[in-house]
Each structure stands twice: as structure tokens, then as C-alpha cells.
Chain A
Amino acid sequence: MQKAEFINVQMQEQALAAQAHAGSGGADDAAAARLAIRRVSKRYGTLWANRQVSLNVQAGTIIGLLGPNGAGKTTLIRVCAGWLTPDEGDVVIAGHRQSLTAIAARAHLGVVSRDAPLCEELTVAETLFLRATLCGVAAAARTDVCRAAIDEYRLATFARRRIGVLSTGMLQRVAIACAMVHSPAVLLLDEPTVGLDPEIRRHIWECLVRLKERGVALLLTTHYLEEAARLCDEVHLMIRGAIAFSIQPDAMDGSAARLERAYLHAVAHEPTL
């Protein structure tokens, strides 16, 4: 009982800290951030999918978005990807404002999402080569970049197979490899490990940690609390389109169980938030 209260108090403190952090906009942080989401609101008709969301993702950090279905996580990813234009606020990627025509912003962005599928008729190697060409990788470096991606994401055994015949796990690794082929500063991942077996999931986690160590700023949405606890430097809980509170898993010793309790508590008390 005492432990639960301790968690609640800790959560409230962290929520206040997160709101203060987001509210002030963290001007210095935002300037240094690879991905800065500044007071973004997005509305579908009368439904607010995102309300005044502010987030900064620094280089070499993984920021997680948790929340129940319909909380607005995917909408936020879509806004960051440039697929949706926010009704209010803006998104800045590596110093470039994201918009429908912002080529400079997209040059620094990689996206792994079900909204961005791969061409089923091409092989894995061809897909990587195509992506490298489209993303402007220099002709001389293209083959090396593709080969390195195949090695790094363990795609060699099925590099000549068509995308259409790959399993979900293989597909997800290819998607990450494609998103990273032009070495972007920011990687957006929308539920990257959904439907994967534990081994593949672990491998994808390793890949993401490597990217983090390489200085990439990662923003990922997930429903897996264990994933959030293990990977993320900071987890934001979204409810009804707004960030309800933020937690640093390190402060909870990376415990998924404690994160789960905090999450369930927040969701259960959602109307009061």
C-alpha cells in the first residue's frame, strides 16, 4: 500500500515536472533537439486527436509514447512524418520546419510505420537500393550503404527474396533498414514490434539501442510497457490527445512492472487528469 502511494506521489511530481518542461517549451532544449514538437494540435472534425503537445527528442535518446488506443500517438507520428498538417503548432526536424513540401526536413527523417509500406514486388536488396537512390545517397556509396544495412540488420539470408513473401519480423527489420539507409538524424517508429516473436523483438531492440548510441533521435509509440521500460530514456503517457505525464524509466530502475502500475493508475484516473 505504501509502495503504491509512493509511486503515485512520484508520478504526480514527474507529471508536474513534465508539464512545466513542456509548458515552458524548454527553449534551449528545443533549439538543441533533433526533433522538436511545439504545441502541436490536430483535429479530425470535432475530435481533437492531439492537443498542445510539446516534445523534444535530443540526439542519442529514445522517447516513448504510451497510451490507450485512440490516444493520439499515431496522429502525432503522422504529423511528425509530414503526412498530416497540424492545425496548431509545428514540428522541427534538425532545424527544418516539417511541412508537406519540406524536402530538407525529410532528408533528416526516417519513418517506420504501417502507413508507409514497402513495394511487395521488389526484393529486399532492390528495396534498399531504391530507397538509397530516392533519398539521395551518392552513387559511389550506394552499394556499400546497402551492403552495410544488410549486414547490420541481418538481412543477408533473405536479401534476394521479395518483400511480399517476408514474415512480419523480417519485414520490420527491412523497414528499419530502409528508414535508416540515408542515416537520418531522427527516426519515427509507430509500434515497431507489434506481432513479433520475442527473439525478433529483442533483435529490433538491439538495433534501436545501436541507433541511439550512434546519436540518432528516436521517437517510438508502443503498447508494450516492457519495451518502453527497457528502451526509452523518457516515456510520455498520452491520453485524449494530450501528454498526461512523463516518466523516466531509469527512475523506476527500468522496471516494467512499476511502469505498468503507473500506467494503469493514470489510465484509471484519466478523467481527473
Chain B
Amino acid sequence: MSMLLRQIGQLFLVHLRVWWRTPRQVLTGLVLSGVFLLVGTQLLHVRLSGRVAIGLCAGDMPLLSAIESELTALGITTVHCPDYVQATADLAAGRLVAVICLMPHTLRLTLSGRNPMLDREINGVLLRVAARVSESQPGGDQIAIVSSHQSLDEINAFMTASLIPFLIMTLATVNCGMHWLRDWESGMVHTIKVLPLRRVVLPVARTLGGGFLVLVILGVSLAICRCIVPWRLPDRPGVWVCVLLVQVIYALGFFTALAAVCKSYLLYVDAAMLLILLMMFTSGTIKPVEAMAGWEYVLAHATPAFYAVRSLRAVMTDSAPLLLRDLGVLAACAAGCFALAQLLFTRARIGR
């Protein structure tokens, strides 16, 4: 047993040593992981900037000025339109993204419909602005809107929780699955096979080495990300770390099995990248699962990444209870994948 552990330990160290001796890979992994979290967090968060121009149709001038000043304060460009017809023509031509028409007791908001995500954000912003303005107006009709406005920290935590599973999957692709294929294609698997080792030594050492690297890169990139984009640390750090560990194990198992099935570097890269992209759409990261059509909903629940995203969001934002079922699904998926990979590794043959 001690010999087995020593052998696994030695191969584990070799895994780390080889990684450390490829500085380009080390640097690329660390830098791109940090950039992924930093840029992704910002990109996923829809923000309205000066490029967003909203048309204002005259009506109630004091109210119009109040809305205009509120929008300008948010960094949104406002354009005065002589009449509603002209405004809708500009909207159709793409010069405006929305038109606000103010009439007595009525506020009409017309959206372009070109980008649902943008429309949704404008809708929310204008409702908040309208509510604030109407509250400030003396007398007249008032619109009361209660908005569950989240702080920037909370939004960042939510976005980061959505991205971490994909960062883990990408790191597992590179640091574990690709090493398996490299062993396979370079013939290292056959070298190991003539040594007096148990079959389990190489897969276990590779998985441990890959998992360790994924955790190190993930930790460093999370630290960098949190320094630049602030987000609140989870209230239950122990649970958070456990969820992260389960996700790392699941990702290692999944991509190890994929590597064992593909047995070809190029095929594996194609399959891994496409699967990660596909899972990004089906996990609820981009489109809320609640808004999915029937078949999309079923597909989402058949995707392990969905459980990864949901569990991490729950623990990082405290917005929902952490479901042990999510972690159970991930653990079961990992166990199945490791078993498949081991089986395929054992059956690896040399020659024609």
C-alpha cells in the first residue's frame, strides 16, 4: 500500500513538475483565468452607457426635464424628438433604442425589440426612473414601483458564481484531459504499462495532479478577480470550498472520460470546447432556466453544469437554499465518468 502511494505521489509530483517547466502554459493558464473572471463578470452584467440613446417626446416639460436629468445621471444619452412619429422612425432606423413619450397621466415607453436583454435592462431602468420622478412631482398621479435592487457586490457575486463552473471546466480540460491524451498519443501510457505498477496508479496520479493545478489556478484567479471586481465572500466559506471541490472533481471526471473516449487530441479539443459552449447555454448562465421552453428546460436538467451553476449561486449569493441533490448529481456524474475512463484506459492497446 505504501509503495502504491509512493508511486502515485511520484507521478503526481512529475505532473506538477512538467506543468511548472512549461512557463508559457503556467502564465497563460493564470492570466487567462483571471481575465476570464474579470471580463466575464463585467460582460455578463448589462450596463447602459452613453452609446444608448433614448428619445424623449415633449409633453409635460417639467416631468421631461426631471426624467432627462435622471437618465443623464445614469450615463444614458437622451435625444429630444419633435413628435412621436419622428421618434418611432428614429427607433426603427436604429438611432434610438427606446422612446419615452410623456402625456398627461400617461408615460408610454416604446422599445426597439432588437435585443431582448437590452430591452429588459432599459425597461427596468426606466421604471425606476419614472417611479423616482413621479414620486418627486407634487400632486397628480403617482406610480409606485417596488424594485428589489441589488448592490454591485451582490450582482458581481452572482455573475462570478455563474462563471466559476465554466472556469473549472476549462481548467480541467487543459490540466487533466489534455495530459491524458498527451500520455496516450506520446506513448507514455505504454511506457507505464511495462512497469510493475497497478493500473490505477497513472489515472489516480494524473487526476490528483490535474485537480491540484485546477485548484491553484482557480484560487489565484479568484483572488485577483476579487481585488479588482469586489464581491462579497460567502457567509459559509466551508460550504463554499466543499462545493468548489465537488465541482472540480466532477469536471476532472467529465473531461477525463471525454479524453478517454476521444483518444485523439484534435477530436478532444473540438468536443470539449463545443460541450463547454453548449453547457453555457443550457446551464442557466446566459438565459434563466425559468424562461426556457419545455425542451430547453429538460435539456438544462440533463446538463451537469446546470447543477454546478445552481449550487454555486446558492452558496455564493445566499439567495436560495443549497440543494444537496445538486452536489449528489455532480458526485454521481464524476464517479461514472472516472469508472468509464479507467475502463477505457485498461483496454488501451498498442499496435494496429
Residue A107 is within 8 A (CB to CB) of chain B in the complex: yes
Q: Of the 9-residue stretches B13-21, B73-81, B84-92, B259-267, which lies at the interface with chain A?
A: B13-21
With A83-B194, A121-B18, A133-B10 as known contacts, state yes or no: A75 contacts B187, CB within 8 Å.
no
A183 to B236, CA, bound (A): 55
The answer to whether the Cβ of B191 comes within 8 Å of any Cβ in the partner chain is yes
Q: Does B47 contact A (CB under 8 A)?
A: no
Residues of B within 8 A of A131 (CB): 195
Nearest Cβ in chain A — how far from B175, in angstroms?
14
Please tell me if A135 contacts chain B, counting CB pairs below 8 Å: yes
- What distance in Å separates the Cβ of A132 from its nearest Cβ neighbour in chain B? 9
**B305 at interface (Cβ–Cβ under 8 A)?**
no
Interface bin, chain B = 20 to 34
**Which residues of A30-59 are within 8 A (CB) of B?**
44
**Chain B residues with CB below 8 A from A83, complex form:** 190, 193-194, 349-351
Q: How far, in angstroms, from A83 to B346 measured CA to CA in the complex?
A: 11
Q: Contact between B187 and A116 (Cβ–Cβ < 8 Å)?
A: yes
Please, which residues of chain B bring their CB within 8 A of the CB of A122? Answer: 14, 17-18
Which A residue sits closest to B13, measured CB to CB? A130
Interface SS majority for chain B: helix
The contact of A134 among B11, B350, B352, by CB within 8 Å, is B11
State A158–B346 Cα separation when bound (angstroms).
35
Q: How far is the CA of A133 from the CA of B195 in the complex (A)?
A: 10
Q: Is B7 an interface residue (CB 8 A)?
A: yes
Using C-beta atoms within 8 Å of the partner chain, give the interface range for chain A. Answer: 20 to 34
Contact of B199 with A116 in the complex, beta carbons under 8 Å:
no
User: In the complex, A135 Cα to B201 Cα: how many Å?
Assistant: 12
CA distance A100 to B350 in the complex (A): 12
B150 within 8 A of A: no
| Residue B232 interfacial (CB < 8 Å) | no
Cα distance A2–B139 in the bound complex, in angstroms: 130
Q: Does A252 contact B (CB under 8 A)?
A: no
Query: Could you tell me the distance between the alpha carbons of A162 and B20 in the complex, rounded to whole angstroms?
Result: 14
User: How far apart sit A139 and B196, CA to CA, in the bound complex (Å)?
Assistant: 16
Are A82 and B194 in contact, with the CB atoms below 8 A?
Answer: yes
- B193 engages A82 (CB within 8 Å): yes
Query: Cβ of A117 and Cβ of B188 under 8 Å apart?
Result: yes
Bound-state CA distance A111–B187 (Å) is 13
User: Does A11 touch B at the CB level, under 8 Å?
Assistant: no
Cβ–Cβ contact B188 & A119, under 8 A? yes
Task: List 16 interface pairs A-B (beta carbons < 8 Å), by A numbering.
Answer: A44-B352, A82-B193, A83-B193, A83-B349, A84-B351, A101-B199, A106-B195, A111-B194, A117-B186, A130-B10, A130-B11, A130-B14, A133-B10, A134-B196, A136-B196, A182-B196
